[in-house]
Amino acid sequence: LRAHFCCGAVALLRLEEEHLRPVVVDGLVSESLGRRFAVHQHPRLAALLARGEVTCFDHDSTLPDPYDGLLDALVGEPLPVHDCMGVALRIDGRPWGVLTLDALQTGTFDAAARAALAHCAVHVEAAIRMTRLEQENQALSRAGSPYAGDATDEPALRAALDEGEILGQSEALTRLLHEMKLVATSDLPVLLLGETGVGKELFARLLHRHSPRRHKPLVHVNCAALP
């Protein structure tokens, strides 16, 4: 897609509650895979999700760009005036995420490019459906489940599908994942600290999956609801 549209960056982001998580990127730094973009904090991403068609942002748009400092070509620098285009993806009638394209050359995304992206989005949605079916089949096989048609209540299936949800290749994240898996095998209590949206629940599930109690339920308690 990056070569076809002659753009600087392409990203596929999946919607997870109120955040968008990069799944595949080309032209962005590898650390971007570990980011979570809160939809309400990024008006461009929110606009893509709200509209059911390809959306272009003019080069003079005043809306902040979520990829400032994340382009391979301009690491750590704010994005200059550029073109931005994207489209929301829907699977089985539900919002799945967005596909975004950024071009440093203004005027890149004309009417023909917008029509081409709409066509590509259909193929991307089909690929996502096929990938999900393959993952579900593989997870059911690993779990030895006799349920071939209903995966919604399979804890083993959910755990298998969640296995790769923590992404990123930075040295800090690699070291943290190693330490998490070490402490998971112990009986020590673990306290996860961090601001809202940084992914504490993801790491809690990681601890559970690698603990001796991984075959038992993971009990969620909403502390904010406690008296």
Q: Where are the beta strands (DSSP E) in the chain?
A: 9-16, 19-26, 37-38, 55-57, 83-91, 94-103
User: What confidence tens digit (pLDDT) does each residue in 4-50 have?
Assistant: 998 989 999 999 989 999 999 999 988 888 889 999 999 999 999 99
Amino acid 95: pLDDT: 94
Rounded-to-integer distance, Cα 35 and Cα 199, Å: 9
Does residue 213 have a pLDDT over 60?
yes
- pLDDT tens-digit readout, 161-191: 455 566 666 788 888 888 888 898 888 889 9
Q: What is the SS3 assignment for 86?
A: strand
Average pLDDT estimate for 100-109: 90
Map tokens 């760009």 to a residue. Answer: 65
- Asked whether the predicted pLDDT for residue 149 surpasses 60, the reply is no
3-state helix, strand, coil in the chain (%, to 5): 40, 20, 40
The pLDDT-based confidence of 83 (bands split at 50, 70, 90) is: confident
Domains annotated for the chain, with CATH where assigned, are: 2-139 (3.30.450.40), 171-227 (no CATH)
Is 80 exceeded by the pLDDT of residue 150?
Answer: no
* Lowest-confidence segment of 13-17, 31-35, 57-61, 75-79 by average pLDDT: 75-79
Average pLDDT, the chain: 82
Phi (first) and psi of residue 103, to 5 degrees: -130, 130
The angle formed by the CA atoms of residues 179, 184 and 188, to the nearest 5 degrees, is 100
Q: Give the span between the Cα atoms of 20 and 98, in whole angstroms.
A: 8
Residue 185 identity: T
pLDDT band at 72 (very low <50, low <70, confident <90, very high): confident
What is the pLDDT averaged over residues 204-214?
86
